[in-house]
Amino acid sequence: MNIRYVTGGSGLVCAAWGGWLLLQQPEPWRIAVWLGGAVVVHDGLVAPVVMAIAALVAVVGLRLHGVPRAALIVAGSLTAIALPPLLRPGGVANPTVLPLDYLRNWLLAMAAIALFTLAYVGVPVVARRARRMGRESRRA
């Protein structure tokens, strides 16, 4: 059997199961609105930002392979996971539900990803330039 049929069939089964579970909820329209909002946020915000970054990188002439691309994927995934606590409305009734400073921790994680990526990409570039400058100064 073709793998595409198996994959498509399993996707249809999962979608049907999800729809059945959605209809079992007391207010299924609230979940449907949330899912629709997720699509709007993705298509209206996330995708254009990613495309703008890709266009900027292409204009600058950088080639994003390996570690820089992985860093962008990790940063995007971490942001997607962190969005619910970052966007939570005001305070919560139970202070133990979201007890941490999620904005600060997310910013620290983004800074760590950026620093490690810049160090990984930048250190070899600086070392190459230093070797080149050393060779040029010995020739003079």
Helix ranges (H only) for the chain are: 3-23, 28-41, 47-60, 67-86, 102-139
pLDDT of residue 122: 84
pLDDT of residue 12: 96
**Residue 134, SS3?**
helix
Q: Which residue has the higher pLDDT, 35 or 62?
A: 35
Q: Express each pLDDT in 69-102 by its tens digit.
A: 889 888 988 988 888 888 876 666 777 776 778 8
Q: Is residue 136 predicted with pLDDT exceeding 80?
A: no
8-state DSSP, 97: T
Task: Tell me how far apart the alpha carbons of residues 53 and 57 are, in angstroms, rounded to a whole number.
Answer: 6
pLDDT of residue 47: 84
Q: Express each pLDDT in 2-26 by its tens digit.
A: 899 999 999 999 999 998 988 898 8
Percent of the chain whose pLDDT exceeds 70: 93
Q: Which residue has the higher pLDDT, 113 or 1?
A: 113
Under the banding of pLDDT at 50, 70 and 90, the label for residue 112 is: very high
pLDDT of residue 90: 66
Under the banding of pLDDT at 50, 70 and 90, the label for residue 29 is: confident
Longest dimension (CA), the chain: 81
